[in-house]
Structure 1
Amino acid sequence: MAWNEPGGGNKDPWGNHQGNQVPPDFDEIIRNLNQRITQLFGGGGHTGRGDDEHVNWRIIILLIAVLITGWLLSGIYIVDPAERGVVLRFGAYTTVTEPGPHWRIPWPIESVQVVNVDEISSFSHKASMLTQDENIVDVELTVQSRIQDAAYYLFQDQNPEKTLRDATETVVRKTIGGSKLDFILTEGRGAIAVIIQERVQDLMDQYRTGLLVTSVNMQPAKPPDEVKEAFDDAIKAREDKERLENKAEAYSNEILPQARGEAARASANAKAYRDRVIAEAQGEASRFLAVLAEYKKAPEVTRERLYLETIEGVFAHNHKVLVDVPGGNNVFYLPLEQLTKQSSSSSIITAPTTEMIPTDEGRIAPPLRDVMRDRERRLR
């Protein structure tokens, strides 16, 4: 029966009557505590009042010191290399501690929340979106992130992961909506992933979520299933176009150097021909001026010499000789080529020139050698 229930008497928990309430004796409480500690450490169980008066204050002080030391030691904590410790004082943010051993004021004054900043978290986002040229495309990407600022992550945003998902969806729709379908399906996938990562990180910094977007991996975009065949045909045609363009470019790279070489060679030949013609013309002009000077001194002699040089040039490569005797009416033919073929000796070749050749009128024509010598004497 409880002491304060009806019929339970007027006694209180300390044995006093209800009508005469006396507060508990502090010395009595200390004596009882001292007795129990003494029994705990092997002391005798003395119950006499004379013994209780001698309180072992050393044991009490030692116990208090042990309690204080244990309380202070409870403030030691160790932060792992992949973690950061966020120290709270009466629930308010104080500081962030780096990896290693640290000490804080023990509970209930300060507490520590340890956050893993190296753990990578990822999520996937998939949606059908409208492009700039009003085409529908299915986009799927994976976003990976980790905690960059532990204090921001814990206290600045209520749900950083949800904020990251919402920001990713917003940025993806804006980026895809500002790009054309051909760019998204072909070479633009890598560039779009980089743009999405930068824009999402900007939003995370503005919201101070404490998250760092480490990578955005975008899967190849594809059209809806209803128009997949048409898109496959378009992609095949685009690939054929690129293949033909590459082939044409390779052919161009092969032909152009050859054409440039041919043009350079033709230009060099033309330059050489020009220089040669100019040199020959200058030489002919110089020779003509020299002949002109001699012609002015002796016109007849020069005219005769020019005539002989011309005839010599004409007959130099001709094996057929026609002899015109002065005063005669007919011209006879001297077959030097046939005479050369009949005999290889010099006597046979020179014989016709030493004999008198008859003409049609019965006159004897002088030898060709004598005619040439006579002409030379006259020229002198």
Structure 2
Amino acid sequence: MESNDTYIYIHIPFCLKKCRYCDFYSIPYSLKLEQIYIKALIKEILLRRAEISQIRTLYFGGGTPTVISNESFSAIMKVLYDNFKFRPDVEITVEANPATIQSDYDNLKYLKQLGVNRISLGVQSFSDDLLKSLGRLHSSDDAREAICRVSEIYPNFSLDLMYAIPGQSIETWQDTVNEALSYNPAHISAYELTPEEHTPLWTDIKIGNTHLVDEDTTIEMYDFLTSTLKQARYDHYEISNYAHRDRQCQHNLNYWRQGFYTGFGTAAHSHVSADGLTKRYSNAANINTYAAAINNGTLPIVEPLIVTENEAEKERIFLGLRTSCGVHFDNIPKAAAELLNAGLIEINCNLITLTEKGFLVSNYCICQLIE
């Protein structure tokens, strides 16, 4: 990472419907709120223009970014193009939902004209029953059609998949993985479903209306995923991420390398260097509070934190061990011997990396090595 590179995240908080497992900040879409929000977002970018140098990556997340209009995307990109320099190899990603890709795919084509060169498509599953249980608006056929259209326009596209969904069998998961591979995506993200507190799914599990997939089946799903993608020549470069050669998500790699990044929009997080200090902070996770602050010429920053050397070192270990590159230790922790004997880590010249088995219990391994 070059010192003058800027990695930008832009949060689009709107969704047509909130998924039953999601705990990210999102709100129901309305045209009026979109117009208010985009104006505030552009003002924030201009208020913080001194933080931006040469843009290396630009990532639109949500929410569902593809729910907003082409005109809104154009306005955001215009202020960025007019005020900042983009690296020739800039990566510009937009998260997309099959349910919000327009029937004529006009939004996909328009985003391409604006410079977007990577799409991350939230498929999750090719089972209609599971999609319905997750609260997803799209069907499996919607997902298939969206993938075909995305792949025609964007050679660099990623598919998001999910396993350990209540009611999901190993056979259903195998079918989803194999079908995803049939489209030859450049990148696959596969996440184990973790019920987040106070989400509708979490409530259903708590009161016994639905049940988590058992641990043995979850492990079997993970093992099938890793072995199948390895056979298909995908690099397992981070716990939940797999890519063809040179198709790793550069924006997320910067997170895991403990790089600096700038977040715009409600609920967006930033990790910056300022006044000789490393700082983390987030924007207010409320669209009205956010817009009111921006319109008053102030930044809607909450929870500012100065990162100490000790905290930075723990972050380096936590983030680095999530990747296949691992982490270098000046002194190997005592706990490493037990992890090594259990086949959870590998050690090479003070470089510790998690094995595939270790990735499955990464939180345990990381806690042992940090203590």
In the superposition, the TM-score normalised over structure 2's length comes to 0.15
- More strand, by proportion: 2
| CA radius of gyration, larger in | 1
The answer to which structure has the higher helix fraction is: 1
Q: Which has the higher relative contact order, 1 or 2, with Cα contacts under 8 A spaced 6 or more apart?
A: 2
